[in-house]
Structure 1
Amino acid sequence: DLGSATFCISNEDHTLGNALRYIIMKNPAVSFCGYSVPHPSEYQINLRIQTDGSITAVDALHKGLDDLVDMTTHVKESFKDKVKQGEFEIHDGADIHAK
């Protein structure tokens, strides 16, 4: 069944896993998307995608990755524009060096 697959993605963690899960689930052809980290000491995620059969799980992953790149590019450009225009505030007491 090409509508279901689990992808093992090395060198990634919850940061990419949760973002991908969120954006892939916005696709109406996707019925399920979830991820897990097999073990805390392993730096990898297992991403499971199930579709309604109108697209393959691989196509859903590719679309999700493309959509995530588009979203992060938009956020980056919006941030740069606001900084350039001076449209931001630093509030008193804000620790801009916080970790």
Structure 2
Amino acid sequence: MEHGSLEDSSASTFSIAEEDHTLANSVRFVLNQDPRVAFCGYSIPHPADNKVNIRVQTTGDPAKDVFKDALQDLIVMCQHVRGTFDNAVVDHRSNISAQQMDIDSNSQGCGTISKRLYQMLTSAPHSIDKTN
């Protein structure tokens, strides 16, 4: 819900229900990157309320339009982060599978052993202390 002046569309407060610092701080960050924004801040009226108030003052453009653009930019950022994360998970899983297959083939029928144990057994020279 938007609260603002009918005479000055460049300053408004937007109340968003069922939200907290997570969304409010993200929106504030994106808004403050916009050169059309003169001021942006948010508050939570009461800790028991799941509501945030985001105050936006622009250099002249309607605050509602700038706020809407910021929300769209935030959606694009979140989609990019999600896509990057999903790709990293796929890459990680495929690397784990390739490493596990390499370990399995090098263990010569001894069953699956952990990568760390395999590296310890194959990389360091082994010596047997016969004094004990």
TM-score of the superposed pair, with normalisation by structure 2: 0.64
Q: Which runs of 5+ in 1 are unaligned?
A: 89-99
Q: Which runs of 5+ in 2 are unaligned?
A: 1-7, 96-132
Residue in structure 1 matched with residue 10 of structure 2 by the alignment = 3
Residue in structure 2 matched with residue 77 of structure 1 by the alignment = 83
Query: Percent of aligned pairs with the same residue?
Result: 41
Q: Distance in 2 between matches of 1:61 and 1:29?
A: 10
Q: How many residues align?
A: 87
Query: Cα RMSD between the aligned structures?
Result: 1.3
Displacement of 1:86:
1.3
The structure whose RCO (Cα within 8 Å, separation 6+) is larger is 1
Runs of 4+ aligned structure 1 residues displaced above 2 Å come to none
Which has more helix, going by share of residues? 2
Q: Secondary structure at the match of 1:73?
A: helix
Aligned letter for 2:16?
A: I
Aligned letter for 1:7?
A: F
TM-score of the superposed pair, with normalisation by structure 1: 0.84
Displacement of 1:73:
0.2
User: For 1:25-51, what per-residue CA distance to the aligned partner results, in whole angstroms no more than 9, with x for missing partners?
Assistant: 111000111000000001100100000
